[in-house]
Amino acid sequence: MCCCYILYSPSLDRYYIGHTCELIEERLRKHLSDHSGYTAKAKDWSVVFVEEFLNKSDACRREREIKLQLPYLTRLLFWNIFSVL
């Protein structure tokens, strides 16, 4: 079983989107370990979203879909916040 996942870091106020065929707990452990990738900037990442797939290609496809939708989702969230104020 594979999945697409989103991590969140409160200290950076940033999200990380990825996919894996490992257990999500193991993948998170690797993100929190010493390495030089994007998630190395903080040690407070937590899993905020997981969507499971039967194969890696579907999980990868979903990751790309989410990343392509990010500019739209960010604008939508921004305008919803300010429309409430």
Give how many domains the chain has, as a whole number.
Answer: 1
Residue 55 domain boundaries? 2-84
Contacting residues for 47 by C-beta, under 8 A, at least 6 apart = 5, 6, 7, 24, 28
Nearest to 23 by CA among 52, 62, 65, 57: 52
pLDDT of residue 35: 84
pLDDT tens by residue, the chain, 85 residues: 999 999 999 999 899 999 999 999 999 999 999 888 999 999 999 999 999 999 999 999 999 999 988 877 776 666 665 554 4
pLDDT of residue 80: 60
CATH number, position 45: 3.40.1440
State pTM to two decimals: 0.82
User: What is the distance between the alpha carbons of residues 54 and 79, in angstroms, rounded to a whole number?
Assistant: 36
